[in-house]
Amino acid sequence: MGPYGPLNQGTNGDVRTNSTEGDAIELKDAAINGDVLVGAGGNPFAVIRTENTTISGVREAATQNLDLPPVTVPPGGVTTGDLTLSNNQIVTLPAGTY
């Protein structure tokens, strides 16, 4: 895989959480060109809340949760905090490490 770039770019952007709590993923006025997965054993229709959103892939529970290490920003990486979009806003992130 490696860094995202001209040789490995595509349109499949999956969203995933290990959570099984209600509304853990909230999508409003969004288009997800990929799958949306929730924690193992979770009910995707309770965990994923959508409003005016299209999901091209599946909404389902993962077969097992991911072992996710704590996130650390690598040297030279950009920390932007939460990314919140509204009102059909489009944001294109330039090449880099986030």
Report the domain count for the chain: 1
Cα distance between residue 41 and residue 63, in whole Å: 8
pLDDT digits (tens, 9 = 90+) for 9-45: 666 778 999 999 999 999 988 888 889 999 999 999 9
On whether residue 96 sits in a domain, the answer given is: no
On whether residue 7 sits in a domain, the answer given is: yes
Alpha helices in 2-95 (DSSP H): 44-47
pLDDT digits (tens, 9 = 90+) for 48-82: 999 999 999 999 999 999 997 887 777 877 776 77
How far is C-alpha 62 from the chain's CA centre?
Answer: 14
On whether residue 24 sits in a domain, the answer given is: yes
pTM for the structure as a whole: 0.65
Expressed as residue numbers, the domain containing 15 is 1-62+80-91
pLDDT at 1: 46
69: which strand partners? none
CB 25 within 8 A of CB 38: yes
Cα distance between residue 8 and residue 93, in whole Å: 16
On whether residue 33 sits in a domain, the answer given is: yes
Cα distance between residue 32 and residue 54, in whole Å: 6
On whether residue 98 sits in a domain, the answer given is: no
